[in-house]
């Protein structure tokens, strides 16, 4: 009997230790309601549009959104390396321009004028690029015939009608990941770069002159918007690019990414926009050389689509103060006629995305700890099922979860 009681006591203890005291429900989704699109720092594009429609000039727009700045002319003829293909396994380059020529050179030849190409392609050929270890492997295909060339760490591509190669004005097409974009100016570099996770991948860059070849292809504002807004955008885009020029980034073999992490660069497609492409190009020409300065130096001219009614400080968004950013009213972002998609928005985000944003295995509760004067979320805290808590900035949360802005409220959870 005494042995049975001991056994029963052990079984009860084991049962108590292995049965949870209470189950914790882990939400499958979190829902948010907010306003605006983007980080909120610098010039509001929707605000610029509204001000332009009200008759304000580009200079008035810029000096409203950026604090204590001047608009001054500078030399903007620097050559930029703009990344147009990041972490690629393969790419194809070709031209459909009759009489157009494409040259392939081994190495990064820069502005060298006497370099000898290893092959010259006509409009009937395509250059195929892949990566093998730390090398780029090029081949040329004409119909079913494929010719391979010696691999190298990097290559340069030039085409006719550019400042690097006289002849017929050729458009080249770059195809990768199922998309094709056309480029008219500069030259291309192709390099094998090692990524910490993926290993070696292809990086494609377009070397273009800042003041025209680059800016003509920047697509950060619809070209049919009012002229003063376009001019403000041209000056802001020129200023932003100038602040990044010459600061080499090894990860992309570039000065700037051609995506919205810096500025969206569409190449010749921007000039070819139906009816209005030349309007953007003219806006760039009319503001030639003008940049936004503070204490005589170009600022990093941040801009964004729309806010929740006020702009934001760089300090609040990213933790780094910039004297030219400020919080000002932005009523244009709340005009339904101008900004119907983002005056208000709602999003539902999966548990896995929320957990990853906080670097936690799961999240059972979210709490907004503070708000900034702009209305954005200052700090947001997550609690895991084990009670671990982690706090991040509202802008960091926006970036990691891909919700439109940090002007948001948590409205519901779904178990």
pLDDT one digit per residue (tens) for the chain, 415 residues = 333 334 334 433 434 343 343 468 899 999 999 999 999 999 999 999 999 999 999 999 999 999 999 999 999 999 999 999 999 999 999 999 999 999 999 999 999 999 999 999 999 899 999 999 999 999 999 988 999 999 999 999 999 999 999 999 999 999 998 999 999 999 999 999 999 999 999 999 999 999 999 999 999 999 999 999 999 999 999 999 999 999 999 999 999 999 999 999 999 999 988 889 899 999 999 999 999 999 999 999 999 999 999 999 999 999 999 999 999 999 999 999 999 999 999 999 999 999 999 999 999 999 999 999 999 999 999 999 999 999 999 999 999 999 999 999 999 888 7
Torsion of CA 311, 316, 317, 320, to 10 degrees: 120
Angle, in degrees to the nearest 10, between helices 45-53 and 227-244: 150
State the pLDDT at residue 275.
Answer: 85
Contact 304, 313 (CB under 8 A): no
State the pLDDT at residue 274.
Answer: 83
pTM of the model: 0.91
At 48, is the secondary structure helix, strand, or coil?
Answer: helix
Residue labelled with tokens 């017929």: 168
State the pLDDT at residue 23.
Answer: 62
DSSP 8-state assignment for residue 96: -
State the pLDDT at residue 415.
Answer: 79
Torsion of CA 270, 274, 278, 280, to 10 degrees: -50
At 134, is the secondary structure helix, strand, or coil?
Answer: coil
Which residues lie across from 201 on neighbouring strands?
193
Distance (Å, rounded) from C-alpha 33 to C-alpha 411?
6
Contact 94, 161 (CB under 8 A): no
Across the chain, how many H-helices and E-strands are there? 9, 24
State the pLDDT at residue 24.
Answer: 80
State the pLDDT at residue 392.
Answer: 98
State the pLDDT at residue 318.
Answer: 97
Distance (Å, rounded) from C-alpha 125 to C-alpha 331?
53
10: tokens are 């052990």
Would you list the DSSP string of 313-359? -HHHHHS---TT----B-GGGG-TTT-TTTSSEEEEEEHHHHHHHHT
DSSP 8-state assignment for residue 157: E
Beta-carbon-side half-sphere exposure of residue 163 (alpha carbons within 13 Å) = 11
381-414 core/surface letters (b: 16 or more CB in 10 A; e: else): bbbbeeeeeeebbbbbbbbebebbbbbbebeebe
């Amino acid at each position: 009997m005494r042995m049975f009681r001991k056994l029963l006591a052990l079984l009860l203890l084991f049962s108590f230790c292995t049965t949870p005291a209470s189950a914790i429900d882990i939400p499958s989704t979190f829902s948010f309601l907010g306003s605006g699109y983007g980080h909120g720092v610098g010039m509001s594009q929707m605000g610029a549009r509204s001000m332009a429609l009200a008759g304000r000039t580009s200079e008035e727009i810029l000096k409203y959104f950026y604090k204590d700045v001047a608009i001054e002319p500078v030399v903007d003829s620097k050559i930029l390396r703009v990344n147009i293909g990041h972490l690629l396994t393969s790419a194809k380059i070709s031209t459909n321009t009759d009489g157009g020529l494409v040259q392939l050179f081994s190495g990064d030849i820069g502005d060298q004028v006497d370099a000898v190409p290893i092959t010259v392609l006509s409009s009937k050929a395509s250059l195929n690029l892949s990566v093998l270890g730390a090398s780029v492997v090029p081949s040329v295909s004409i119909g079913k015939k494929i010719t391979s060339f010696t691999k190298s760490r990097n290559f340069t591509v030039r085409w006719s009608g550019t400042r690097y190669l006289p002849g017929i004005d050729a458009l080249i097409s770059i195809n990768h990941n199922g998309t094709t974009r056309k480029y008219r100016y500069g030259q291309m570099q192709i390099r094998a770069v090692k990524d910490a996770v993926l290993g070696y991948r292809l990086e494609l860059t377009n070397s273009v002159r800042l003041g025209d070849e680059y800016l003509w292809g920047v697509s950060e504002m619809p070209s049919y918007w009012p002229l003063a807004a376009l001019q403000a955008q041209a000056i802001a885009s020129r200023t932003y690019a100038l602040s990044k020029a010459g600061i080499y980034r090894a990860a992309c073999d570039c000065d700037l990414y051609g995506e919205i992490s810096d500025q969206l660069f569409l190449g010749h497609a921007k000039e070819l926009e139906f009816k209005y492409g030349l309007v953007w190009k003219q806006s760039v020409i009319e503001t030639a050389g003008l940049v936004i300065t503070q204490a005589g130096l170009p600022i990093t001219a941040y801009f964004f689509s729309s806010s929740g009614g006020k702009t934001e400080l760089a300090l609040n968004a990213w933790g780094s103060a910039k004297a030219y950013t400020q919080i000002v009213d932005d009523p244009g972002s709340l005009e339904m006629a101008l900004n119907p998609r983002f005056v208000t928005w709602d999003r539902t985000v999966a548990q896995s995305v929320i957990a990853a944003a906080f670097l936690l295995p799961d999240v059972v509760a979210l709490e907004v700890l503070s708000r900034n004067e702009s209305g954005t979320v200052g700090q947001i805290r997550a609690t895991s099922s084990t009670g671990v808590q982690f706090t991040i900035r509202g802008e960091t949360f926006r970036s990691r979860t891909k919700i439109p802005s940090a002007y948001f409220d948590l409205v519901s959870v779904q178990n």
